[in-house]
Amino acid sequence: MSRRRHNRSAEKTLGTSPGTLTYVGVEIEHATKIKRIDYNATDYHIDAPTKLIACQLPVPETPYVHWIDVDGIHEPQVVAALGKQFHLHPLLLEDVLNTEQKPKIDLYDDTVVFVTLKMLHHSRERQEIEIEHVSLVLGKNYLISFQEERSKDIFDPVIERIKLSSGKTRRNGADYLLYALMDVIVDHYFLITERIGEKMDELEDEIVQERATQQTLGILYKLKRELAFIRRTVHPLRDVIATLLREESELIQHNTLPYLHDLADHVNQIIETLESYRELTSGLMDVYYSIVSNRMNSVMKTLTIFSAIFMPLTFIVGVYGMNFENMPELKTRNGYFVVWGVMVVVTIGMITYFRRRRWM
């Protein structure tokens, strides 16, 4: 969640005509990696075409599901070329490139379903959440997936499943593939929320066991930011899936619906977990504040007890430090010891008083 990352995007695009393709994310040097996977229940081909021409629009009658997995969206011309081949709307392509775009779904005339969402990793080195802008374009019998280039392709597990078995993924159409890819991403959200849950538990222990410092609060604040950020990322997904379920696009087959329902369910569960974490953070703040003010109270009591005991004593010894010529007590034989006696009595009195008020 590098804070300043998004600063340039608005200025970059200001004043350009809508639909102009500009990449606004982090700059990357390599060429875009493209994989083409054609599969059906009985067969599959995986291809890493170096030339875009290999990604030609498949003939509608092909008995395969065609998946074009584009890893890297920093070359607008690549995206533009694909857009041309598959007759995609310019606004769709703009959203593919706009890494600031929040998750959403767009239906283009019942021939294309466009879903964009965010992949979240927890980067162990940088101790922060990494965001990856992912776009999925579902057509008649093809699916194009776009992702920002990162160290590894997040869709590898799905490719593996296609390779290994002729299971559910292979037997179903491109709509099931859409679901499977979204499911991979949502599963990662669970990982993120669990990591946050663990951190919450640590913080809770620290705070409730009164080991919290000012730093703890800083971490709590950072956690709250992360929670808010994830919520903003996950929340729109609910509408995305609801739209998929409601719109009854011809591209989504009937037997994929239970899976989408299940996915909606997962998303709801994540949102709820986030919500409960958010409540917990404010509960923890309350506990923290109460501990701080209790400590203050205890500090003040200590100070008051010391003052209340030693101020009278210091006064008493001050009295007999005066240099008046006529101070009868000074000349008595036991004056000094009587004063000590008085001081002991005063001290015991004070201590008794504070004990009664339960300050000691």
Footprint of its own copies on residues 28-57 (CB under 8 A)? none
Nearer to its own copies, 34 or 192 (CB): 192
Q: Which stretch binds its own copies (CB under 8 A): 51-59, 63-71, 122-130, 216-224?
A: 216-224
Alpha-carbon distance values, 264 to 88, 242, 344 (Å):
27, 7, 75
Binders in 122-161 for its own copies, by CB under 8 A: 157, 161
- What three-state secondary structure class fits 288? helix
Is 14 a binding residue for its own copies by CB under 8 A? The answer is yes
Among 297, 341, 348, 352, binds its own copies (CB under 8 A): 297
> Taking CB under 8 A as the rule, which mask of x and - marks residues 246-285 in contact with its own copies?
------------xx-xx--x--xx--x---x--xx--xxx
> Binding to its own copies by residue 314, rule CB under 8 A?
yes
In 3D, which of 245, 237, 223 has the Cα closest to residue 269? 237
- State both tokens at 329: 């007590």
Taking alpha carbons only, the member of 69, 70, 103, 106 closest to residue 90 is: 106
H/E run at residue 83: helix 76-85
Interaction with its own copies in 320-359: which residues (CB under 8 A)?
320-327, 329-336, 339, 359
Q: What is the DSSP string of 225-267?
A: HHHHHHHHHHHHHHHHHHHHHHH--TTS-GGGHHHHHHHHHHH
Closest distance of CB 323 from its own copies, Å: 5
Which residue from 61, 152, 318, 356 is in contact with its own copies, where contact means CB under 8 A?
A: 318
Cβ at position 303, least distance to its own copies in Å: 4
Q: Residue 3 or 51: which CB sits closer to its own copies?
A: 3
Nearest distance in Å: CB 71, its own copies: 19
| Own/partner pairs, 128-132, CB within 8 angstroms, 24+ separation | 128/1, 128/2, 129/1, 129/192, 129/226, 129/229, 129/230, 131/1, 131/233
CA distance 246 to 170: 25
Give how many residues touch its own copies by CB under 8 A: 113
CA 284 distance to own-chain centroid: 19
What's the maximum distance between 2 C-alpha atoms anywhere in the chain?
A: 124
Residues 164-183 that bind its own copies (CB under 8 A): 167-169, 179-180, 183
Question: Least separation, in Å, of the C-beta of 12 and its own copies?
Answer: 10
Which residues ranging from 50 to 109 are in contact with its own copies (CB under 8 A)? 89, 91, 94, 100-102, 104, 106, 108
CA-CA distance, 106 to 88, in Å (whole number)? Answer: 12
Token pair recorded at residue 66: 């065609």
Q: Supply the minimum distance, in Å, between the C-beta of residue 144 and its own copies.
A: 19
Query: Closer CB to its own copies, residue 60 or residue 258?
Result: 258
CA neighbor of 47 nearest in space, from 32, 59, 37 = 37
Binds its own copies (CB under 8 A): choice among 217, 242, 245, 351:
217
- Work out which of 1, 13, 122, 130 binds its own copies, going by CB under 8 A: 13
The CB-of-15 to its own copies minimum distance in angstroms stands at 5
Q: Is there binding between residue 18 and its own copies (CB under 8 A)?
A: yes
> Residue 272 contacts by C-beta under 8 Å, 6 or more apart in sequence?
none
The CB-of-108 to its own copies minimum distance in angstroms stands at 8
Q: Strand 142-147 vs strand 33-39: parallel, antiparallel, or unpaired?
A: unpaired
